[in-house]
Amino acid sequence: MGISLARLDNRLLHGIVASQWTPKSGANRVMVIDDKTANTPMLKEAMRIGKPSGVSLSIINRETAYTNFKNGKYNGQKVFVVCNDPQIILDLIEDGNEIGTLILGGTEVPENTESIKVSKRAYVKKKDESVFKKIMEKGTRVLVQYVPNDKPEPLEKLI
């Protein structure tokens, strides 16, 4: 078992993630890894409202996520990881977690930051380009895809 799918999305858990990506992931747990959301009760509660039915939801900071995975807390579960920082994904992989596919969904439009536009809704910041390349070198497929019905574009062709 383990991580069935991972997604980078600036909005974290929202309608498209809950209604389309969660079922596609086959997960029984959605894990939002984001320090700000995990440490802000109002944001956390707003995110809980969007919880997809039939799955568990964890909204935790990155250190708790790393510790929980290392301690085998999610053994026997299929976890769909949603975060907005590719470094989190690389850290999980380097800690021994296998992530077969990472979906790059929507990102914020970077202001005053050099970036590469990889789709209508996604950008890769130049400072994160090496992180994405390391993720791909570790064997994780990185696809740019907003909704499951969109044609997936391999990130390595775009950066």
Count other Cβ atoms within 10 Å, centred on residue 35. Answer: 16
- Among residues 67, 3, 60, the alpha carbon closest in space to that of 32 is found at 60
Residue 1 pLDDT grade (very low, low, confident, very high; cuts 50, 70, 90): low
- CA–CA dist 154, 129 (Å, integer): 14
Residue reference for tokens 């974290």: 12
- CA–CA dist 50, 15 (Å, integer): 7
> Of all residues in the chain, what percent carry a pLDDT higher than 70?
99
**Range of weakest confidence among 34-38, 110-114, 153-157:** 110-114
Q: Collapsing DSSP states into helix, strand and coil, what is residue 153?
A: strand
pTM (2 d.p.): 0.95
- CA–CA dist 48, 18 (Å, integer): 11
Mean pLDDT of the chain: 96
Domain 2-157 has CATH 3.40.35.10: yes
Residue 111 pLDDT grade (very low, low, confident, very high; cuts 50, 70, 90): confident
Looking at residue 11, what is its pLDDT?
Answer: 96
Looking at residue 139, what is its pLDDT?
Answer: 97
**Residues contacting residue 93 through CB under 8 Å, at least 6 positions apart:** 99, 135, 138, 140
Model confidence pLDDT, tens digit, residues 128-152: 999 999 999 999 999 999 999 999 9
Amino acid at 83: C
Q: What is the mean pLDDT of residues 105-116?
A: 89
